[in-house]
Structure 1
Amino acid sequence: MTDKYFQKHGVFWLQLSVFVLLGSMTLRPAKAQIVNTAQIPDGKLILSQQLPPPQDVLPPVPSPHPSPQPPQPLPPPEELFPSPSPSPTPEQPVPEKLPETIVVEKFEVVGSTVFSPEELAQATAEFTKRPISLAEVFQARSRITDLYVKKGYITSGAYIPPQTIQSGVIKIQVVEGRLEEIQVTGTQRLNPNYVRSRLAIATEAPLNRERLLEALQLLQLNPLIRNLSAELSAGSRPGVSVLQVEVREANSFSTQIVLDNGRSPSVGSFRRRLQLNQANLLGLGDAFNFAYTNTDGSNALDASYTLPLNPYNGALTFNFGTTSSNVIERPFNVLDIESSSRYYELTFRQPIIQTPTQEFALGLTASRRESEATYIKGDRLPFPSLGADEQGRTRISALRFFQEWTARNSRQVIALRSQFNLGIGALDATINEDAPDSRFFAWQGQAQWARLLAPETLLLLRVNTQLASRSLLPLEQLGLGGIDSIRGYRQDYLLTDNGAFASAEVQIPILRLPQIDSILQVAPFFDFGVAWNSSGRENPDPNTLASVGLGLRWTQGDRFTARLDWGIPLVSVESRGNTWQENGLYFSVIYNPF
């Protein structure tokens, strides 16, 4: 039923593409550009040309966050939660001796926490100030019950308790429905309390169907759960119910193999990556991710662990990564330039607003980044890098406050991200007399929009910007050029303190093979970016890049994706042209074996 619903609304390709799109939402630090002349200790000139800029020497800090899985489509609400029968209210005692009519001055409604006295009085107003029959008395009671049911309080109701009528006042007692128990079945590795706690916050008394349905939909979107269904049954007494939830877990273990040419040619542009993900390591909904990335001149390890902290999906994440590189690009390979970097991040992220169609979250990251670079085999001299100390090292301690907002429906996804970065001098961070050092302030903003124009035809718009108050260390600068930004140029061709980037792309299907669940799309694109420095530092020339191009994208289910892009630069720059990347050709192959 879920697959039919998915295909019916044409959301699959939107969400699958947005999976790739949103995976780039993490703000990626880059390296600055600096030029120096290399000499050996005896003053004998090694090269008459410039050394490679630090962005080709210092390893980049990779994105520590795994790409989010595409949200699963929701089945119709009646499949998640069929409408239950209202809970029975206590039987109504009918007095044996009662006049045919009675004049009621007012109905006194007792036990309501949802509606104001004015709303309750208005519901029963037509039955007051006139003679009414016994049947109309019970109709007045039913109006109160209907008031609750129409607002989604399907297990709440009203009844008339035994009483002596005085001064024309009849008391109506309200029983507001509540849950007696949440029974979770079908879980295997996942702790049932993970599901129970997320439903409990939506089922506080009085029980409301819409709140419960929204909580079930959020759980259905959770990548740990393949599908679920819920049913309400009568509890041990009137007004209480038992919620029975049957869960079918999704496979929490996955692997991914990625091949692309997205690294700098200085360390080998051909990149291989193997990633292992366990989304439910200890049964708490905690996730562990490990990745190994390799090029001909570099090796990198990345690991992260995420622990849920509350039923509102607040989570604590620790990220760690280390990279070592060796410049293999001629003619700089004779210098035997080696570099390494590490990063440590502790992040708390808390959704503030969370519904099936939108999410707003706040987060704070405590970050530490370190790098060092040396050159000349045997002597191991510190590589002259912007802001580095006499040993070629840079150390950055920073606090990063971010805000994220995502809205989605069956036709589009909009994602906005803002991040304020405050560098501090703590923990032996790099401190220099003049900028750059670990003391800085910068803002990064991103916006992405994916719009389904027709079945399997997708419009993708991206904007990325960074503004800095002063000159930044290489690990904090913004890069333009390459597979993830302006195609047609070398990876991180421009690296500066400030910059802005925009991209537009349309993915159009040209071949469908439903028998193997495959599709071939053509993707024309336009990329544009501008970069500049702070603190009076000279801007690169040119400082603007632009390109147009065409891509081919092949997908086979959710297991295999391959893409080839050809970017044509519109602004001429110097290029060695030794690699596919420098000739505007980019490829990526993503395979998910499990």
Structure 2
Amino acid sequence: MKHFHRKNVITGIILSCVAGFTYANPMLDSGTLNKQLEQTRQMQAAKVKPSGELFKTPTREENLPANKESLKFRLDSVKLLELDGNEIKDNLTSITAPYLHQEITLDDLNRLAQQITNYYRDNNYLVAKAFIPPQEINNGELQIFVIKGALDQVVVRNGSRLKEDLVMRMVNTTVKSHSYLVKNELEKLALLLNDIKGITSALSLKAGQNTGKTDLTVNLKDNKRWNGYISIDNQGNDNTGKYRTTLGNKIYNLVGLGDELHFDVLASNTFDLYNLRADYSFIIDGYGTRVGINSNYLKYKLGANFKDLNAQGSTYNLGGYITHPTIRTASLRLDSKLAFNHQKLSDEQKSVDLQQKRKVNTTSIGLGGSWNSIKEGVTYFSFNTIFGKESHSTNEKKHYLSENYQPKRTFTTFNYSLSHEQFLPKSFSITLAVSGQLTDKNLDSGNKFLLGGLSGVKGYQAGIVSVDEGHIIQAELKHYLPVFSKSMLVSSLFYDEGFGKQYKNTEKLSESVENKVRLKSIGVGLNLIEPNNYSINLAYSKPIGKKYNNVDKDQFWLSAIKTF
């Protein structure tokens, strides 16, 4: 019987699972660690709710004061006119018909004019007004003038660094794209300006110098142009450092194009893991389209159980993206995104002189947003398709590689996320969420879907299991309690369940590997938060049901962030 050094056997197994996708539970590598940080950032990204109604339609006067005069006359037809005398061809038969071919009073006329006013305001003409001018009724025909509210002057009072020509381009693509002042376009302009960080904006309307015209004033002021933050958490692992600290900064409106510069650095308590990230974007047109570039560098060294391997590696990402505010209304936000990314990954085990290098190029197309779907409820959604091409190289001996090892290949993944938060009486809310990933092939470690961690099944650590295809179902009941002067204490009960397949294709998979996995956990959480100041998050979660790999250790999660 041949005998092998134990360390070499372990090493051979580890590299095989990374390169050939044959064994379950590979050790941590650059792809897995990068994916953990990526999913954490996605979870921490602020969800933006729809604004709700910004510009209320002027009060509807349904009950008009009665006219004391009892004058009556016969009405047979109604002609709608603009102020210049041109006839309006809009079909308002459903409103005018009940008044025709009968004798009516002055009260009836006033009521008819108000109903026409309401019709136009309900159909997006914010300042529309119908009125009856002095006239003689001939042959039973009544003339009613309708002021739809044409936009006259637009004045920009700019006390910010935002370039005025960018503001005017937004004006031209919204309120000035119609002949009349349209409520939806006015709201869109306000929402596009609200999306620009580092400024505060306000819109005001007043009667124009010309009859039937409305002037718009856009007021802009500089807001806080930078935000710094420091955070700590225990979402790391024993092999690279359990506790992590992040220090970052966001700077807004550097060159007046609504631009944003974001950079941060993360390090573990053992300094075996650190990550540098930078992102810069700016607005390129009056539609709010944003172009950006980003870069990320991660470096790690494994300790604890893998210390003898002297394993280390790095990941470098360089990408670009275009985002577009496809829909901006008071009740719906929809953003579309096109992104490109180049990734280089390197892993090595110096103790046995083994190396692996990977290059991954991806193109992704996605949609995401939020919707006030029902009263007191908000639905959040995102859908993203990734087309990837990757290449592998390794100095591992050929007979150690799995049979389905491919140095070059392509892949496609589809990711989705859907959640709904419903606010309930007595300061409660309930959130239901589902997310997941589908793919056409077995995936590299950096593109797998993580079932555990604070963004998934919280009863398990983030690196406990990764799958090619998987889904996570979550339910959470929250209670909101105001404390101190500006803070909120949010307590919660939650249930998480995740399931999936570790490998899409199992033809070459060892029969000893259980491909299908399912994780479940329940827990409680506390979050003390003061907006724009601090947030402290505590959560305790316990695995339930069949334990994955006999893991029965409860998880206690801690994170805190201070902004300045």
Fold match, TM over 0.5?
yes
For 2:487, the aligned partner's letter is S
Distance apart, 1:211 and its partner CA:
2.7
1:276 pairs, out of 235, 249, 258, with 249
**Over residues 405-425 of structure 1, what are the superposed CA-to-partner deviations in whole Å (9 max), with x where a residue is unaligned?**
411377332112112222236
> In structure 2, do the counterparts of structure 1 residues 238 and 422 end up closer, same or farther at CA, with 3 Å as the change threshold?
same
Matched residue, 2:7: 46
Shift of 1:335: 1.3
Displacement of 1:352 in angstroms is 2.5
Task: Select 2:157's aligned residue among 177, 185, 193.
Answer: 185
Matched pairs, number: 515
Identity fraction in percent:
18
Unpaired segments ≥5 residues, structure 1: 1-38, 85-100, 383-391
- Does the 8 A contact of 1:358 with 1:406 survive in 2? yes
**Partner residue of 1:470?**
441
Note the C-alpha offset of 1:270: 1.1
Q: Runs of 5+ in structure 2 lacking a partner?
A: 15-24, 60-72, 395-402
> Matches of 1:281 and 1:336 in 2, distance apart?
44
Distance 1:175 1:210, change over 3 A: closer
Decide whether aligned partners of structure 1 residues 268 and 225 sit closer, same or farther in structure 2, where only a CA change above 3 A counts: closer
Q: 1:225 to 1:199 in 2, by over 3 A?
A: farther
What is the aligned partner in structure 2 of residue 513 from structure 1? 483
Distance 1:326-1:156 versus aligned 2 partners, 3 A rule: same
* 1:67 CA drift (Å): 5.1
Cα deviation per residue 1:136-158 (whole Å; 9 max; x = unaligned)?
Answer: 99999999888656755466678
SS in 2 for 1:310: coil
Which residue pairs with 1:352 in the alignment? 326
> Does the CA-based 8 Å contact 2:495-2:523 persist in structure 1?
yes
1:412 aligns with 2:385: no
| Change in CA separation of 1:142 and 1:69 when aligned onto 2, cut-off 3 Å | closer
Aligned to 2:279: 304
Alignment partner, residue 400 of structure 2: none
Match of 1:88 in 2: none
**1:122-161 to 2 correspondences below 5 Å:** 148=120, 151=123, 153=125
- In 2, distance between residues paired with 1:326 and 1:220? 45
Aligned counterpart, 2:346: 372
Change (3 A) 1:178 1:118: closer
Q: Which residue of 2 aligns with 1:525?
A: 494
Indicate whether 1:494 and 2:458 are aligned. no
Q: Of 424, 434, 438, which residue of structure 1 is paired with 2:389?
A: 424
Question: Is the Cα–Cα contact under 8 Å of residues 65 and 304 in structure 1 kept in the other structure?
Answer: no
When normalised by structure 1's length, the TM-score is: 0.72
**How far is 1:535 from its partner?**
1.5
Q: What SS does the corresponding residue of 2:307 show, helix, strand or coil?
A: helix
For residue 412 of structure 1, what is the amino acid of its counterpart?
G
Contact 1:520–1:555 at 8 Å: present in 2 too?
yes
Q: 1:140 and 1:585, CA in 2 relative to 1: closer, same or farther beyond 3 A?
A: closer
Matched, 1:545 2:522: no
SS of match in other structure, 2:159: coil
Q: Contact conserved, 1:258 with 1:589, CA < 8 A, in 2? A: yes
- CA-to-aligned-CA distance 1:298-350 (integer Å, 9 cap, x gap): 111111112223333322222211101000123x1121101111122222222
- Determine if contact 2:240/2:301 at 8 Å carries over to the other structure: yes
Deviation at 1:433, TM superposition (A): 7.1
CA distance in 1, matches of 2:483, 2:114: 58
How far apart in 2 are the matches of 1:138 and 1:542?
71
Instruction: Show the counterpart of 1:319.
Output: 294
**Conservation of the 8 A alpha-carbon contact between 1:225 and 1:247:** no
Query: Is 1:401 paired with 2:365?
Result: yes
User: How far 1:251 sits from its partner (Å)?
Assistant: 1.8
Are 2:336 and 1:362 aligned? yes
Q: By percentage of residues, which structure has more strand?
A: 2
2:307 counterpart (299, 319, 333) = 333
Task: Tell me which amino acid in the other structure corresponds to 1:46.
Answer: K
> Which residue is 1:564 aligned to?
538
Question: How far, CA to CA, are the matches of 2:219 and 2:266 in structure 1?
Answer: 40
RMSD (Å), alpha carbons? 4.5
Pair 1:260-2:233 in alignment: yes
Rounded to whole Å, the distance in 2 between the matches of 1:46 and 1:562 is 42
Residue 543 of structure 1: how far off its partner (Å): 1.5
Pick from 240, 243, 246: which aligns with 2:219? Answer: 246
Q: CA deviation at 1:107?
A: 4.9
Match of 1:443, as an amino acid? Answer: F
User: 2:451 aligned with 1:480, yes or no?
Assistant: yes
The SS at the match of 2:239 is helix
CA distance in 2, matches of 1:283, 1:197: 14
Q: Are 2:564 and 1:584 equivalent residues in the alignment?
A: no
**In the aligned structure 1, how far is the partner of 2:338 from the partner of 2:52?**
35
Letter in 2 for 1:329: A
Any conservation in 2 of the 1:56–1:267 contact (CA below 8 Å)?
no
Deviations 1:355-399 (CA, angstroms, capped at 9, x unpaired): 12212233222222221101125x6421xxxxxxxxx01111222
Distance (whole Å) between structure 2 residues aligned to residue 276 and residue 433 of structure 1 = 45
Q: Secondary structure at the match of 1:265?
A: coil
Are residue 287 (structure 1) and residue 260 (structure 2) matched?
yes
Task: Note the alpha carbon deviations across 1:65-124, whole angstroms, 9 max, x for none.
Answer: 7955565896985xx68969xxxxxxxxxxxxxxxx999998585779995354489859
User: Residue 484 of structure 1: SS of its match in structure 2?
Assistant: coil
| Greater mean alpha carbon deviation, residues 336-345 or residues 543-552 | 543-552
What is the letter of the counterpart of residue 568 of structure 1?
Answer: K
